[in-house]
């Protein structure tokens, strides 16, 4: 949601505690119009923040993963802090990371996945 990004880029931090939205921002940052906009979008913001928190929790539980990328010659690395995947040339990765990618591919083939 672009609305949340706009506020987060300005320093606003959103959270959900016991199903309630919390908004942390410097006192002089939000105008009355901003507060009205956030209030009107509250349900959507709560759902988005909950979804984001679940995704980050799952990413954290998944941990660091190295596997071969869909792009030939690249290794895909899973960032457990953001849940994002990043591709790096295998030639620039530590040998242990490339070995982990090979092992993961071998295990996947053995399982028939």
> In this predicted model, what pLDDT tens digit does every residue of 1-55 receive, in sequence order?
788 888 999 899 999 988 899 999 988 899 999 999 999 999 999 999 999 888 8
Spatial separation of the C-alpha atoms in residues 34 and 76, rounded to whole Å: 40
Residues 9 and 43 in one domain: yes
Residues 32 and 13 in one domain: yes
Same domain, 57 and 36: yes
pLDDT in the model for residue 58: 83
The answer to whether residues 71 and 103 belong to one domain is yes
Are 18 and 53 contained in the same domain? yes
Over residues 79-100, the mean pLDDT reads 93
Our count of domains for the chain comes to 2
The reply to whether 34 and 16 lie within a common domain is yes
- In a shared domain, residues 94 and 73: yes
How far from the centroid of its chain's Cα atoms is residue 11's Cα? 18
Same domain, 54 and 14: yes
Domain boundary among 61, 80, 96: 61
Asked if 55 and 78 sit in the same domain, the reply is: no
Q: Which sign, positive or negative, has the C-alpha torsion 81, 87, 68, 85?
A: positive
Q: Name the nearest CA neighbour of 90 among 69, 104, 106, 105.
A: 69
User: 25 lies in which domain range?
Assistant: 2-61
How many angstroms from the chain centroid is the CA of residue 43? 21
Q: CA 106, CA 100: separation in Å to the nearest integer?
A: 10
Cβ contact 16:53 at 8 Å: yes
Q: Quickly state the pLDDT bin for 113 (edges 50, 70, 90).
A: low
pLDDT at 49: 92
**Which tens digits make up the pLDDT trace of 53-84?**
888 888 778 788 899 999 999 999 998 888 88
């Amino acid at each position: 949601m672009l609305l949340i990004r706009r506020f987060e880029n300005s320093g606003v931090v959103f959270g959900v505690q016991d199903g309630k939205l919390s908004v942390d921002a410097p006192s002089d940052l939000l105008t009355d119009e901003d507060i009205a906009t956030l209030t009107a979008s509250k349900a959507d913001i709560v759902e988005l923040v909950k979804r984001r928190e679940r995704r980050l929790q799952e990413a954290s539980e998944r941990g660091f993963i190295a596997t071969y990328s869909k792009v030939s010659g690249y290794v895909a690395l899973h960032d457990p802090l953001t849940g994002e995947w990043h591709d790096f040339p295998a030639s620039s990765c530590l040998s242990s990371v490339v070995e982990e990618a090979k092992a993961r591919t071998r295990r996947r083939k053995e399982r028939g996945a």
